């Protein structure tokens, strides 16, 4: 039996893998289930190998979700471009919606991931500088006579 902390890590790895798998499935909805199972195995193995804390698990999961969100409009444009030489107005509207929503969600998830990576234990804090350095001399005040 696993210790409680190990069980919590495995639960979070499973949930993070599920989130990334759902994003992958939404991105490539027409793929064979074997490809999605392979993606789940790769992501789960990567998270198990790379992550030691819950923060790291969700940082990597949200980073992968952000990359998938970025790839969604690109994949849609390639798919629609191969269907016809000149896209119709409806397809152009679909592309515009995908670009706006895809880039918005991509920026959100990557920013969220960046914040989690910065919060990760063991990340050195930026050095603080004192407001008045000790090596500079202050002008001396003279008494008025």
pLDDT digits (tens, 9 = 90+) for 110-140: 999 999 999 876 656 566 666 655 555 566 6
Domain count, the chain: 1
pLDDT tens digits, 31-42: 788 998 999 999
Predicted local confidence at residue 9, as pLDDT: 93
For 108, the domain range is 4-119
- With vertex at residue 133, the alpha carbon angle to CA 127 and CA 134, rounded to the nearest 5 degrees, is 120
Binned at pLDDT 50, 70 and 90, residue 90 comes out as confident
For the four alpha carbons of 10, 43, 61 and 69, in that order, the dihedral sign comes to negative
Q: Is residue 133 part of a domain?
A: no
The torsion of the CA quartet 42, 65, 67, 110, rounded to 10 degrees, works out to -130
Predicted local confidence at residue 101, as pLDDT: 92
- This prediction's pTM: 0.76
Q: Is residue 93 part of a domain?
A: yes
Q: Is residue 31 part of a domain?
A: yes
User: Over pLDDT 70: what percentage of the chain?
Assistant: 80
């Amino acid at each position: 039996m696993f210790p409680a902390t190990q069980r919590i890590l495995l639960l979070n790895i499973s949930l993070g893998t599920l989130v990334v798998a759902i994003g992958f499935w939404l991105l490539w909805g027409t793929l064979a289930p074997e490809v999605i199972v392979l993606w789940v195995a790769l992501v789960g193995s990567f998270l198990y190998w790379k992550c030691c804390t819950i923060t790291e698990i969700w940082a990597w999961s949200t980073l992968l979700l952000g990359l998938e969100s970025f790839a969604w409009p690109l994949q849609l444009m390639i798919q629609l471009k191969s269907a016809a030489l000149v896209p119709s107005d409806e397809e152009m509207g679909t592309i515009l919606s995908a670009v706006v929503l895809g880039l918005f969600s991509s920026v959100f998830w990557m920013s969220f991931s960046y914040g989690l990576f910065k919060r990760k234990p063991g990340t050195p804090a930026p050095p603080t500088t004192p407001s008045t350095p000790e090596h500079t001399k202050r002008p001396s005040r003279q008494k008025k006579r």
